[in-house]
Structure 1
């Protein structure tokens, strides 16, 4: 995304102060276009159908339809729009369920504005994004070695990809080159029959490898 093509963002949260604060902060960035706000998921869906946002930043705890259940509603009617969850909860259940339903990222409400913007940018590019606190939760559990026919190194790369790490970050963490990481990424997608990084993330969580 460039300044000539701003990222259209819709905010959904049932706390007016949160909505007003987020909107005011995001509107200070020239490449972020907040196309609207809504306090309920269904109202947000109606607004999204009119404004066609690139990214929807949505809370989980909302009356009537919660944010996790709402993910499928948005996917059905706006398959090109990417969902980024913004929550105060860092529980594995919430994170895993959000990703399995189709969210592209999950960030905590206590992160900086800069990180929220970074998450929006990443998701708009088609990448997954998890804030540091969420990544820590995803990385806590040890993998089930019998869950899939991958090498130990492939599993390491896969878990880091699922935690939202870039090729460069993974390369530094594992002491290998970025080119090697990219090779592993391509091999993982081919071996598992998964085309996207978001799909790899879902696979990790479904198989208890996070």
Structure 2
């Protein structure tokens, strides 16, 4: 099945490079390349991409704010953030706003393709460096590391005040599946309440307080 991808980056060289690389893969069709989030939204309305690969730092409208607009106007499109910054704040905010993944610009071509494939299939993807940042604190929490990538994403959304229904809509899964993940997270972390999960996420540096 062909995956339709829309590229968004305000650096022409990056856009051209990504486009040239992705077009060498038979199962990927680049339906557009835009220098800004607003231009990308215009393209997305007519091309209905499966995945938007978008930089965070852009003029006019940054990638983080653009996530919410894409979720509103193109709800079936998955957002995969691409950045040179491994900032915990950027990563956590991307997930809470509704992105399905976050990869760094210095990853290999194979990892970019793997990220696109995973996100298009309804999964979440964080490049290795990003996962390390999300899990890093003064004394890396072994409990948090025991969570799957999907559970980490759900924990961030729950800690951000999202309901099961909101999380389900953001990650394109059922509310029942979210509830199952929520129970597993509580069990793994030994935390019985949602308030406790939020406090845990803040104390472990997964989100800002």
Corresponding residue for residue 139 of structure 1: 135
| Mapped contact 1:55–1:123 kept (Cα < 8 A) | yes
Match of 1:88 among 84, 106, 109: 84
**CA apart distance, 1:141:** 2.5
Q: Give ranges in structure 2 of 5+ residues lacking alignment.
A: 154-177, 187-196
**CA apart distance, 1:139:** 1.1
Change (3 A) 1:75 1:186: closer
The residue matched to 1:96 in structure 2 has which SS?
A: helix
Match of 1:13 among 3, 9, 12: 9
Which stretches of structure 1, 4 residues or longer, exceed 6 Å deviation after superposition? 203-206
Find the aligned partners of 1:111 and 1:189 in 2 and give their Cα distance: 31
The residue matched to 1:158 in structure 2 has which SS?
A: coil
Corresponding residue for residue 199 of structure 1: none
For each residue in 1:96-152, what CA deviation from the matched residue of structure 2 results, as whole angstroms up to 9, or x when unmatched? 111111100000000011000000000001111000110110110379x9xxxxxx8
Q: Give ranges in structure 1 of 5+ residues lacking alignment.
A: 146-151, 165-184, 194-202
| Mapped contact 2:49–2:77 kept (Cα < 8 A) | yes
**CA apart distance, 1:157:** 3.2
Q: Given the two structures, how large is their TM-score scaled by the length of structure 1?
A: 0.72
CA-based RMSD of the aligned residues comes to: 2.9
Corresponding residue for residue 67 of structure 1: 63
The residue matched to 2:146 in structure 1 has which SS?
A: helix
Corresponding residue for residue 105 of structure 1: 101
Change (3 A) 1:32 1:94: same
Corresponding residue for residue 207 of structure 1: 201
Find the aligned partners of 1:207 and 1:24 in 2 and give their Cα distance: 39
Find the aligned partners of 2:47 and 2:147 in 1 and give their Cα distance: 35
1:1-210 equivalence runs, <5 A: 5-141=1-137, 155-158=144-147, 160-162=149-151, 187-190=180-183, 207-208=201-202, 209=204, 210=206
**Aligned pairs, how many?**
170
Change (3 A) 1:137 1:62: same
Change (3 A) 1:204 1:22: farther
**CA apart distance, 1:159:** 5.7
The residue matched to 2:147 in structure 1 has which SS?
A: helix
| Mapped contact 1:37–1:44 kept (Cα < 8 A) | yes
Q: Given the two structures, how large is their TM-score scaled by the length of structure 2?
A: 0.72
Find the aligned partners of 2:135 and 2:123 in 1 and give their Cα distance: 19
For each residue in 1:47-87, what CA deviation from the matched residue of structure 2 results, as whole angstroms up to 9, or x when unmatched? 00000000000001100000000000000001110000000
Change (3 A) 1:186 1:113: same
